[in-house]
């Protein structure tokens, strides 16, 4: 089930083309993923405190229409795949009913030294992995 | 032939994981693409003045190893495909000889109203498209 | 009367010190100023469409305590001075009742060519300048 | 004696006003300060490894003229005051001989828990404080 995040476009997120700079969507996706983790009962701040880090290992984005200053956007975040060490999410950025941008990411669970480690039990229980 | 761009990692580009935030690489790629366009004889600032805009329509990134504060990075930018309205580039971000991140992008030529238009003649001549 | 803006700290806004990077507060102030303008009946997007631009000419910031990832911040924005061409605002960034950062800015009204112009009548009427 | 840093403006640093967003100059100042510390024999990365952190406690900026995409800027960084726990720097951002932006900052030396600590001996020796 998708988790939704609201974002109002900030002036600093535009570029001289008058649209939201394409790099900012990765930050919107990250907000979506943060809200998804919180909804799954494992807020990311807590995970990091316990030594579970989730760096991004892959991102893919398709930009269909530009967003603009002060637009009210919705980011819809869905889990599309989970293993014991990785999570794949899909993101849709919408304005009104209109799809502007879609993307996917993979995050991999590592410890503070960057070595792979399995996701925490509480999260694995929720995901059945 | 690849065009190379040097980037020294800024403090503001790190995040609390102690590594370069994954969104910043899209900005490094953009610097690479800007240098590629200049090397091809069509600086992007000039293109925009003439009404040729090149918004990004697709990005894909694979993150292999993290970059850190003050790292001296090389971005190697290669054109992999060109049509009369789009350019596809590949990017490799290296530290020393080590590959950290690789990516691809598509940009599409549009006018100020966002309508597709063919790339400028000078650039098409260089690219034989 | 202050206008309040809520901001939840994004991961991308932290740096490797584990705190919100000091440059991000200028963006929080800008959000506060944007909300202040909307509350004053002159949304900034509308002003720009009508050819009134408000570039920042001065910023001063005092950082007292750090904000961290996922903190729920309040930005309190107050107008402290207005002339026919400039607006001075004060900002307070709070977490709970605690003051983290305070700042001030001046914006100057210019036209699209960067020449000074008086603020629009509707805004001047509200401000009695 | 000032330390100089070269910066070429990136597209992502512009906003829809067509100029460098005012928040980016704090990042240029930080690059200047990083280069100043390296020139003073105490690269900031090394300081952090040794447990000396230098968070910013004050910033003041005056914006005189806008910088634009692809501008080649010079940041000139000067130490204006040093105590055993703080450093004050002044920054001038120039394009050609023209002064665009000037600013000042204070950084305070703290340990990893954020408690004040005196600057490292090597740096104090250079600064005679």
Residue D63 CA to residue D54 CA, distance in Å, equals 25
Tens digits of residue pLDDT in C89-123: 999 999 999 999 999 999 999 999 999 999 999 99
Residues of chain D with C-beta less than 8 angstroms from the C-beta of C30: 23
Identify the pLDDT of residue B1: 79
Q: Answer whether B23 touches C (CB < 8 Å).
A: yes
B6-35: average pLDDT: 98
Closest chain A C-alpha to C79 CA, distance in angstroms: 20
Compute the Cα dihedral for D15, D19, D22, D25 and give only its sign: positive
Contact B12/A49 with Cβ under 8 angstroms?
no
Contact C2/C76 with Cβ under 8 angstroms?
yes
Tens digits of residue pLDDT in A20-41: 999 999 999 999 999 999 999 9
Tens digits of residue pLDDT in D68-83: 999 999 999 999 999 9
The full DSSP string for C79-107 is EEEE-SSEEEEEEEEEETTEEEEEEEEEE
Is B10 a residue whose pLDDT tops 90? Answer: yes
Give the pLDDT band of residue D1 (cuts 50, 70, 90). Answer: confident
Q: Which residues contact A57 (CB under 8 A, 6 or more apart)?
A: A86, A106, A107, A108, B62, B63, B64
Are A44 and C11 in contact (CB < 8 Å)? yes
Is A1 a residue whose pLDDT tops 90? Answer: no
Please state the pTM of the whole predicted model: 0.97
Is C6 a residue whose pLDDT tops 90? Answer: yes
A50-77: average pLDDT: 98
Are D23 and C26 in contact (CB < 8 Å)? yes
Tens digits of residue pLDDT in B45-104: 999 999 999 999 999 999 999 999 999 999 999 999 999 999 999 999 999 999 999 999
Residues of chain A with C-beta less than 8 angstroms from the C-beta of D69: 16
Tens digits of residue pLDDT in A105-122: 999 999 999 999 999 999
Q: Answer whether C69 touches A (CB < 8 Å).
A: yes
D33-37 own/partner pairs: CB under 8 Å, 24+ apart: D33/D77, D33/D89, D33/D105, D33/D107, D34/B10, D34/B11, D34/B70, D35/D3, D35/D4, D35/D5, D35/D77, D36/D3, D36/D77, D36/D79, D36/D89, D37/D123
D76-102: average pLDDT: 98
Are B63 and A48 in contact (CB < 8 Å)? no
* CA–CA distances in Å: residue D120 to residues A26, A60, B87, C47, D47: 38, 45, 51, 50, 8
């Amino acid at each position: 089930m998708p988790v939704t995040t609201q974002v109002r476009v900030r002036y600093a997120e535009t570029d001289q083309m008058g649209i939201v700079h394409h790099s900012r969507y990765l930050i919107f996706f990250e907000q979506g993923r943060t809200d998804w983790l919180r909804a799954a009962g494992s807020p990311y701040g807590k995970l990091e405190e316990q030594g579970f880090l989730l760096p991004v290992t892959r991102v893919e984005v398709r930009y269909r229409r530009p967003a603009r200053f002060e637009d009210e956007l919705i980011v819809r975040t869905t889990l599309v795949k989970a293993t014991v060490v990785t999570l794949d999410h899909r993101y849709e950025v919408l304005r009104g009913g209109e799809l502007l941008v879609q993307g996917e990411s993979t995050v991999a669970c590592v410890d503070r030294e960057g070595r792979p480690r399995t996701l925490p039990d509480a999260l694995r229980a929720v995901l059945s992995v």
